[in-house]
Structure 1
Amino acid sequence: MTLLKCATHVVSDLDDAITRYESWMDYRTVEQGEVSHDLAAAWNAPASGGRRFAVLQPASRAEVFLRFVEGDPVPDYVPIRTYGWAAIELCVTNVEAVNERMLQSPFEVIGPPKPLDGFATVKPMQVRGADLETVYLTEILQPGPDSGLPQPQSLVDRPFIMVLACPDLRKSAQWVKDVLGLPMIDPVAIRYSMIEKAFGLPETAKTELTTARGAGQVFLELDQYPDAATKRPRHEGALPPGVAITTMLYPDFARLEGHWASAPVVREGAIYGGKRTGVLLTPEGALLEVVEGGEI
């Protein structure tokens, strides 16, 4: 089981994004509508109220979703250069087959399949979509409880890790431990091609990262970003561009008292399922939406 529930990305053309993910990632739309003004206020993004959204589910029917919310492009936004949620990582059964598909698709392959330095359990690739979304597509080489990784059930399956770009990795990791009470590995330093390319770093550069587990599976990755990284630009009152929100399950709302940026209320829909849902802010100011449920 995973505590991860949804990754939300801002898109300029909702219909185009739906077509892209249904046609090339085999996702299907399970909910559409307009963002309620109450929900937008909970995100501290009142200008996103009334904007169209869609929730998509992977072909495996796993109840871990992608949500797209329409928003106006931010001219100064460059992916993998700012703090906050940096990327969506989807698990796949065969990364080489996915790569062949992506080469024929509207997605740009920005990182072909290759082993990940220091992690023999996975083989990722990376693509970028028309809305500057960075998507990691990762084959799980060693699924199971020991690795904390899922066994994908469709060629392109669910989001399984969300990546948070941090100005101070240890501060953010301590926040995850203190607020959420989740176990994290000690930081490790690896060659990280996406960060190398984004910041023009030498091949000898190393990036520190750490991961958090919940319900037995890894679902959060925290990356230490270089000093050249900046706060993410955004339109006033709107969701930030790129990956705007990570939504997770969490069973112990009493533990989160005193930490809420938006107090829990009951919400309906594919993501919330009639459960209490509140919003936390990470030390970077990234939105972490929390739905009551799951098991640590």
Structure 2
Amino acid sequence: MIASVTVVTADLDAAVAVYRDGVGLEPGAEHRVSGAPLPELDGRRSVVLSGTGAGGAVHVVELPGARAPEPLTTLGWAAAEILVADADEATARARAAGLRVLAEPRPVGAGGGLRAVQVAGPAGEALYLTQVDRAPEGFTLPSPRGPVGPVFIAVLASEDLEESRAALEGRLPARRVTDHPLPVRALNAQLGRPEGTLHRVSTLQLPGRCAVEVDQYPAGDPAVRVRRSPWDGGIVAVTLRGDGPGGIWTVPGAGGALVASG
């Protein structure tokens, strides 16, 4: 159901090179944006990059002067989770291309069926490169058809998890799977918290073997800021394709994060 995540960057060519060489996504032809979820992006240079198999793509849009926030330190869409066949190989490829590793590859979730590495993307977004050997109980997740697959989870940073989740559940064909405290290693590292600090995380299963993860960010933390315009860079919108109501809407409690659906 995730069609794409829209990433705003000051340098399209550099960002495309990172996603191609450091992640392994294949770029399509350059084009000019039309019908963007934000009017500031209409007419801008852009490229869509995809992995193997059906699922979400990364839509990179150039906005000269856009800033690149420090990953996982802003409310809103914080990360794109991309399917990989081997998390260790994905880590080596990312490092060889100069990407900064936020958290080394390690088993994640319940049941030991997932292994992931978190790296810093080129525009202030985080990228979770996740190997799915076996989906945890309650989830329906894709299986790799090549070294790098599609975007299959979008991660939302919220100052009010319950408000953000209620809006997603009310407008999307979403099924709640998890709601529990977890020690999110990359988030703790970025916020300067002890490694074992727990953060409340809730995941919603979507059709098409995709999901949205909502992370509760610590209230009042001076290290966390709000994106106020597309010039703040990073992931500004997630486009969903499926049975939900159409339109472009803002997720409450999540720093102006946009969803384009229908």
TM-score (norm 2): 0.89
Whichever residue aligns with residue 15 of structure 1, its letter is D
Higher radius of gyration, 1 or 2? 1
Q: Secondary structure at the match of 1:113?
A: strand
Q: Are residues 109 and 116 of structure 1, via their aligned partners in 2, closer, same or farther at CA, if it must alter by over 3 Å?
A: same
Q: Do the aligned residues in 2 keep the contact of 1:74 with 1:233 (CA within 8 Å)?
A: no
Q: Are residues 152 and 143 of structure 1, via their aligned partners in 2, closer, same or farther at CA, if it must alter by over 3 Å?
A: farther
Whichever residue aligns with residue 172 of structure 1, its letter is S
CA offsets per residue over residues 132-173 of structure 1, 9 Å max, x none? 331110111204995311101111211010000011111111
Structure 1 residue aligned with 2:130? 138
Deviation of 1:131 after TM superposition, in Å, equals 2.5
Pair 1:157-2:149 in alignment? yes
Cα distance in structure 1, aligned partners of 2:49 and 2:58? 5
> What is the correspondence of 1:76-87 to structure 2 with a 5 Å cutoff?
77-87=69-79
CA offsets per residue over residues 5-29 of structure 1, 9 Å max, x none? 1111112211222222223333222
Cα distance in structure 2, aligned partners of 1:119 and 1:225? 25
Over the aligned positions, Cα root-mean-square deviation in angstroms equals 2.3
Pair 1:46-2:39 in alignment? yes
Deviation of 1:239 after TM superposition, in Å, equals 5.7
Identity %: 27
The match for 2:233 among 241, 258, 263 is 241
Q: Are residues 204 and 103 of structure 1, via their aligned partners in 2, closer, same or farther at CA, if it must alter by over 3 Å?
A: closer
> What is the correspondence of 1:53-92 to structure 2 with a 5 Å cutoff?
53-58=46-51, 60-75=52-67, 77-92=69-84
Mind listing any 5+ residue stretches in structure 2 that lack a counterpart?
Answer: none
> What is the correspondence of 1:206-285 to structure 2 with a 5 Å cutoff?
206-215=198-207, 217-227=209-219, 228=221, 229-234=224-229, 238=230, 240-253=232-245, 278-283=247-252, 284=254, 285=256
Number of paired residues? 257
Deviation of 1:186 after TM superposition, in Å, equals 4.3
Structure 1 residue aligned with 2:2? 4
Cα distance in structure 2, aligned partners of 1:124 and 1:250? 27
Q: Are residues 133 and 13 of structure 1, via their aligned partners in 2, closer, same or farther at CA, if it must alter by over 3 Å?
A: same
Cα distance in structure 1, aligned partners of 2:78 and 2:59? 15
Cα distance in structure 2, aligned partners of 1:186 and 1:22? 32
Pair 1:173-2:142 in alignment? no
Cα distance in structure 1, aligned partners of 2:237 and 2:79? 11
TM-score (norm 1): 0.79
Whichever residue aligns with residue 230 of structure 1, its letter is R
Deviation of 1:287 after TM superposition, in Å, equals 0.8
